[in-house]
Structure 1
Amino acid sequence: MEFLVRIDVALPPELPAARRAELLAAEREHGLALRRSGAIERIWRLPGGLRNVGVWVADDATQLHELICGLPLHPWAQIEVTALATHPLEAGG
C-alpha cells in the first residue's frame, strides 16, 4: 500500500546543539536506509523548517506505524498520514 506522509518536526529550542546535530545525522542515516529498502518511495523537503512530505510504501497501516515510530526524530514530530488508492488515470485507463 502507498501512503502520503507529511512530517513536521519541532525540536525543543533548549536542545543542546551537539544533541541536535546527532539526532539530525541519525535521522538522515535512517531515512537513507528506508529509501534503500523501498519504504520511502519519494520524498520532498518543504521549505521553511524541518518538514517533508513523501510517498511511503508498507504492507499495511500497522507496518507503516512501526516504520514511522522508528524515526529518530519521531518524538518531536507531528505526522499526518493519508492512505492512497490508484486513480484510474494512473492505472492506464
Structure 2
Amino acid sequence: MLFLARMDVQFPAHLSTGEVARMQGLEKEYSQTLQREGQLVSIWRVVGEYANYSVFDVGSNDELHQILSGFPMYPFMKIKVTPLAKHPNSIR
C-alpha cells in the first residue's frame, strides 16, 4: 500500500540547539534505514519550509502508524497522510 505523508516540524522554543541537532541526527539515521528497507520509497523537501513529502510503501495503516510514530521528531510533527492508488493513465 502506498501512502503520501506531509510532515511539518515545529520544535518548541525551549529545546536547545544541541538537542535539536541530536534529534536531527537520529531522524536521519531512522529515515535512511527505512529507505534501505524499502518502506520509505521517496522523500522530498518542501522549499522554504521545515517540511517534507514522503512516499511510504507498507502493508497496512497500522504499519504506517508504527513507522511514523517511530520518528524521533514525531512529537514535534504535524502529519497529514493520503492513501494512494495507481492512476489509470500512469505508464509505470
Q: TM-score range by the shorter chain?
A: over 0.9
Structure 1 residue 54: Cα displacement:
1.4
How far off its partner does 1:27 sit? 0.3
Q: 1:11-64 CA distances to partner (integer Å, 9 max, x unpaired)? A: 012201111110010001101001101111111001223200011111011100
Question: In structure 2, the residue corresponding to 1:19 is in which secondary structure?
Answer: helix
- 1:91 CA displacement: 5.7
Inter-partner Cα distance in structure 2 for 1:38 and 1:91: 22
Distance 2:86 2:49 in 1: 31
Aligned residues: 92
Q: How do 1:37-56 residues align onto structure 2 when only pairs under 5 Å count?
A: 37-56=37-56
Show structure 1 runs of 4+ deviating over 6 A: none
One-letter amino acid of the counterpart of residue 70, structure 2 = G
Matched position secondary structure for 1:87 = coil
TM-score (norm 1): 0.93
Cα RMSD after superposing both structures: 1.2
State the alpha-carbon separation in 2 of the partners of residues 88 and 54 from structure 1: 22
Structure 1 unaligned blocks of 5 or more: none
2:54 aligned partner, one-letter code: G
User: What runs of 5+ residues in structure 2 fail to find an aligned partner?
Assistant: none
Q: Distance in 1 between matches of 2:50 and 2:29?
A: 16
